[in-house]
Chain A
Amino acid sequence: MKLRAIVLNCLLIFKAENSILLRKQTGTVPCKRKNINKTKENKMKWKTDDGGWSPYLAGALLGILAIASALATTNLLGKTSYLGASTTFVRAAGVLEQTVAAEHVKSNKYFTKTKIVVNWQFMLVIGIALGALISSVTDKSFKLEGVPPIWEERFGNSVIKRAFAAFAGGIIAMMGARLASGCPSGHGLSGMMQLSVSAYPALILFFCTGMLTANLIYRRTS
C-alpha cells in the first residue's frame, strides 16, 4: 500500500512539474500544486509550527538526559540523584529567611531535616532558567510577556490581577508539592521512570484537580 502511495505521489509531482513546464510554454496555471503540499504535511514532523522541536523528540532526549544524569551523579558524587525541583524552593526560602530571622530558622524542624545548602539540585533549578534563556534567544522565541494570552482573554490585561493569582497559586502548589514530596519533575518524571508507587497516584491527582480547577477558571458561561 505504501509503495503504491509513493509511486502515485511521484506521478503527481511529475505531472505538476510537467504542468509548470507547460505553463512556461503556454501560460496556463498549474493545478496539481496542492497535492505536493499535502505529501509534505504527511511526513513525520520534527519541528512544530512555532519553531520548537517535536515534543516526542525533545521528551526522548530528556529521557536520555535523566539516565545520563543518574549515572553521572552516581559515579561522580557517590549518590544517585534524580531530576527534581521543589525541594530547592524550601532551601531557597530558608536562605532568604536566614537573613531576617536566623534563630528562628535554626530552631525550625523542617529546616533541620532539609538542610539549607546550595547543592546539586539547587544549581539544577538555576540551570533550567539559563538553559531556557540560551534556547529561546538562539531560536528567537524569547519574548517578554507580562500577562499570558489565555489569561488576558479571560481576565483582561492587568498585570496586578495576574500577579495576585500566580502568587496565590504558587503558595497552594508549593504546599501541595512539599506535602506530596514531589512535583511533576520529581514524581512525574523521576518517580514514574523508576516505577515508584507514590508517583502514579500523585501525577494522576495533579492532573485531575488541575483539570477541574482549570475548567472552573476558564470555562465560558456562554
Chain B
Amino acid sequence: MSTDQWLGLVTGILFGFLLQKGRVLRFEKQVGAMLFKDMTILKFMLSAIIVGMAGILILSDMEILKLSHKSMNAGAVVIGGALFGIGWAVMGFCPGTSLGALGEGRWHAVFAIAGMLCGAAVYAEIYPFLESTVLAWKDFGKIGLPELTGLSQWIIAPILWGLFIILFIWFEKKNL
C-alpha cells in the first residue's frame, strides 16, 4: 500500500474508534436525535467542531494548511440536503457511520451500505441530467462564512462556539 492509503487507514481506524467510544454509530442514537430524544450525536459532532475549528483556523491563518470549501451550489445543497435527511431517517445511519455500525456487529447496516452503493451508481447515471439542471441553477462557488459576511473568522468562530455551548447547556438541562 502507498503512504496515501496507509495514512487513510490509520486515520480511519482512529476515527472509527472514537465514533464507537462516543456511541454515535448506533441506529437508536441517530434516530434518537431525529426524534429529539437523545442528543448524543449532536454533542459529539459539535464538540469535534469546536475543537477542530480552533485548530484548523489557527493553522490556516499561519498558512500551514489550506482550507478546502465545498461549492455552495444553491439548488444542489438544498435539494441534496433535504433528500439526504429523508434517507438518513429511514436508513438510521449516515455514510460514515454505516461502516462503523457494521464494525460493532450491527450487521443490518449491510443493507444500508448496499443501498448507498446503489444510490451512488444511480447518481452517476443521472449525473449528466443533473449537471444541466439542478447543478446549473445558482453556484456561489467555494466560499467561506468570512468572505460571505465580510467579518473576520475570529468574530464568527467565537459566536458559533457560544451558540454550541448554549445548546449543550440546554441539552443537559433537558436531560437529552
A binding-site residues for B, Cβ under 8 Å: 48, 50, 52-53, 55-67, 69-74, 76-77, 80-83, 85-86, 88-90, 92-94, 96-97, 108-111, 118-136, 139, 141-151, 159, 162-189, 191-215, 217-218
Contacts and interface: CB of A to CB of B under 8 A. Distances in A.
Contacts of B108: 145-148, 159, 162-163, 166
A124 B123 contact: no
Interface string B51-85: 11111110110001111111111001111111111
A44 B150 CA distance: 39
Interface residues of B, number: 128
A59 B44 contact: yes
Interface of B: 1, 3-28, 31-36, 40-41, 43-57, 59-60, 64-73, 76-109, 111-125, 127-128, 130-131, 134, 140, 142-148, 153, 156-157, 168
Given A170-B113, A208-B85, A134 B49 contact: no
27 contacts: A55-B24, A57-B47, A62-B47, A76-B7, A86-B95, A89-B116, A93-B117, A109-B131, A121-B8, A125-B12, A126-B9, A126-B99, A130-B9, A168-B90, A169-B86, A169-B89, A172-B84, A172-B90, A174-B87, A176-B83, A179-B134, A189-B45, A194-B56, A197-B140, A202-B80, A209-B86, A214-B34
